[in-house]
Amino acid sequence: MKVYETDNPITSNGVPIFEEPIICTYMDLDNLIEKCKLTKMQSYVIEQLMHGYSQVDIAEDLKLSRASVSMHFSGAVKRLIEANNECSRIW
């Protein structure tokens, strides 16, 4: 499969050529978070992760186990995926 106009991506302006269509789902995370109505704890965990804190940092801050933070994160991700899939079906 040919990836660039030439063998050198620099002389091709770094723009790849795709011979097959690519389907992407755009996910506007801020709007999606509002739509899926996360719990306060899920929202807090997602917000802190978006700011670069680790699950360990969040657990220490909240005086919870890392497993508890991971559970809140997993629940939030599940809701975000469901909300994103719902938006995709609408389009």
pLDDT digits (tens, 9 = 90+) for 34-86: 888 899 999 999 989 988 999 999 999 999 999 999 999 999 989 988 888 88
Cα–Cα distance, 80 to 25 (Å, whole number): 13
Q: Is residue 35 part of a domain?
A: yes
Q: What is the pLDDT of residue 6?
A: 55
Cα–Cα distance, 8 to 3 (Å, whole number): 10
Q: Is residue 40 part of a domain?
A: yes
Q: Is residue 39 part of a domain?
A: yes
Total count of domains within the chain:
1
- The residue segments making up the domain with residue 59 are 29-90
Cα–Cα distance, 79 to 85 (Å, whole number): 10
Q: What is the pLDDT of residue 69?
A: 95
Q: Is residue 18 part of a domain?
A: no
Q: Is residue 71 part of a domain?
A: yes
SS3 51: coil
Q: Give Cα separations from 7 to 3, 13, 16, 18, 39 (angstroms).
A: 8, 11, 11, 14, 51
Global pTM reads 0.64
CB count in 10 Å sphere of residue 59: 18
Q: What is the pLDDT of residue 23?
A: 47
What's the CATH number where 42 sits? 1.10.10.10
